[in-house]
Structure 1
């Protein structure tokens, strides 16, 4: 019997395997349906907070060979722009490279990697049984937006308005100084496009939109990308792949008994930026540690750890997403971030890390909020309002 089995070897799964090994699990099995290296549809953005988690796990080479991106340019739905240095640089590392490095680190730490597609999950008196053949004291489901483990716990996929669809590809990097570019849409809000230079002459480019009841076609996603990134010639974009983004505004319970969920399987995608790597690493590390320390009651320990590390931030990011349904409020935030570097840093921390809203930021944004026009005073002959 394995101490901990992790389903899915992406960032959440690799972090879970590392977390379990560092917490004392003797036998850790890491399962994935693909061989590594393998591609994964993603924006490839690696924020500084993600590197903090990796450092805690002993992984120091995840972004080696890729130049830092020192700045972020954010364009609001109304066209307003703010461009400032990031508090700490970000990186763009293709997932084919990034994920393989994390898997290599997990194996070096003592986890066993095996190619296997999980189809059935059963909770037993001893722990968990996978496909009738693999038994474990605890199980971490880190198997993405279409998680088999999540379905086994009885949780359906996120409903519309809490689920986005994005398409990404690779194109020649835009001219000018290297920076992350995020352009929000004024016509199909909430939606945005991005261009993240890699450092080899290419950029990861893409477009994502929140689902609202009507299906999104590949053609419409490409139209959205072309509209928001006019400097990108669609004919030059290669390796186009679409993917779902389960937003953190609708999360299932973190687990039950010996079974826990991490990363996309737990709907840990930032609802404002679509960032998920930091959430995946943080939740994966916490899930693996909880599974190793108290397998039979892993879900309880994991929920407490997740609440302590990300609970307040996730509540604040949900509030931010609710406020950001109003494009004019996003424009006000962009304007405030352009005037005040502290507001800019708060916005960045909320979107790329584990930041929180504060009164100062809200007050600064309120300055640019459109004021409603006063209606004319009713005449004496007008009927009274009820």
Structure 2
């Protein structure tokens, strides 16, 4: 078996970012994925400005070329409060069929070796990690998604009910070209539908909700989406799980690290995962390139320094948002105060945090709202 400085399981955004970061530091990288590219992946396709900024810091440009910037967001609260404002920084909607291939091409252009292979077994033997008896890694990064094999091999179970969501997405015609739309609902809260225009007369549309232990059918999810998006009839409907960041495993053990969805890095407030994926992947790749000694601790500290405060605040927001009244109060406050809106967007799409002023504005609106239901 050939030995690599780094083997990355999964060539999605987290894995590709890890490979690029490691190659920039001079590491020898093997990138594995069970699928060929281009390949589709169920997702909202929303690419926040923060994700683009991380990729640009790695020297990756052009990932949103051909897809117009979207500069507005409309948010409807579970009891009907609404706000529509300009985003602090424009976002894009890029189908994962396109976005992921562009990142993989960038990783290969940076010098990573790409191989089609479904990882089934990993074994940390102290002096290296063996992957299916086909390669040995000084460091292994598991970036293989919500159903991560590497995560299971480390002994971490899937997220439990209350910390795992399920969503469907498809593509439907739309006359909306410049506004991302999120419509929340009190029914089976927390839950919401979305419409993210691509720019070609279609939009990525979908619906998701937090799982509570029971199985949810595709028919049920489609019905909920139609109710919230005025009868949208999408094509290409697929479902996916969202492991929320409110229940994360350890980011690494020994020579094995986790990144992206495999680390349960899904924003519990919005379901956003691309920014977390490319950021955690880049941090994991840089940690791996520095060598196997102490790599898990080095990566843990890098994650904590970059995302620790934000993750605490997003977890707090998720706890607060269990009460739909609080969400409507936040939407009310954002409609009245552009700074509150910007804080909410940064918390939901990037690495933002609450501040006392924002909390005060939301508390004030909460005091003005009467409970919609006893």
Q: How does 1:108-119 map to 2 (within 5 A)?
A: 108-119=109-120
Q: How does 1:249-260 map to 2 (within 5 A)?
A: 249-260=246-257
Q: Distance in 2 between matches of 1:295 and 1:50?
A: 27
Q: Is the CA contact 2:177–2:199 (under 8 Å) kept in the aligned structure 1?
A: no
Q: How does 1:1-386 map to 2 (within 5 A)?
A: 1-25=3-27, 27-173=28-174, 175-176=175-176, 178-230=178-230, 232=232, 234=233, 237-370=234-367
Q: Which SS does the other structure have where 1:78 is aligned?
A: coil
Q: Is the CA contact 1:162–1:247 (under 8 Å) kept in the aligned structure 2?
A: yes
Q: Distance in 1 between matches of 2:88 and 2:369?
A: 35
What are the Cα deviations for residues 218-241 of structure 1, in whole angstroms up to 9, with x where unaligned? Answer: 111111101111152x2xx11100
Q: Which SS does the other structure have where 2:166 is aligned?
A: strand
Q: Is the CA contact 1:24–1:293 (under 8 Å) kept in the aligned structure 2?
A: no
Q: Is the CA contact 1:164–1:246 (under 8 Å) kept in the aligned structure 2?
A: yes
TM-score (norm: length of structure 1): 0.94
The alignment of Structure 1 onto Structure 2 pairs a total of residues equal to 368
Q: Is the CA contact 2:166–2:209 (under 8 Å) kept in the aligned structure 1?
A: yes
Q: Which SS does the other structure have where 2:365 is aligned?
A: coil
Q: What is the deviation of 1:259?
A: 0.4
Partner of 1:377: none
Q: Which SS does the other structure have where 1:15 is aligned?
A: helix
Q: What is the deviation of 1:209?
A: 0.4
Unaligned runs of 5+ in 1: 374-386
Q: What is the deviation of 1:48?
A: 0.3
Q: Distance in 1 between matches of 2:326 and 2:35?
A: 42
Q: Distance in 1 between matches of 2:214 and 2:325?
A: 24
Q: What is the deviation of 1:133?
A: 2.4
Q: Distance in 1 between matches of 2:314 and 2:22?
A: 28
Q: Is the CA contact 1:263–1:280 (under 8 Å) kept in the aligned structure 2?
A: yes
Provide closer, same or farther for how the CA distance between residues 195 and 13 of structure 1 changes in structure 2, counting only shifts above 3 A: same
Q: Is the CA contact 1:138–1:296 (under 8 Å) kept in the aligned structure 2?
A: no
After the TM superposition, which segments of 4 or more aligned residues of structure 1 sit over 4 Å from their partners? 370-373
Provide closer, same or farther for how the CA distance between residues 20 and 372 of structure 1 changes in structure 2, counting only shifts above 3 A: closer
Unaligned runs of 5+ in 2: none
Provide closer, same or farther for how the CA distance between residues 290 and 143 of structure 1 changes in structure 2, counting only shifts above 3 A: same
Q: Which SS does the other structure have where 2:319 is aligned?
A: helix
Q: Which SS does the other structure have where 2:294 is aligned?
A: helix
From the CA coordinates, give the structure whose radius of gyration is larger: 1
Q: Distance in 2 between matches of 1:154 and 1:63?
A: 37
Q: Is the CA contact 1:137–1:296 (under 8 Å) kept in the aligned structure 2?
A: no
Q: Which SS does the other structure have where 2:366 is aligned?
A: coil
Q: Distance in 1 between matches of 2:63 and 2:269?
A: 25
TM-score (norm: length of structure 2): 0.97
Q: Is the CA contact 1:294–1:301 (under 8 Å) kept in the aligned structure 2?
A: no
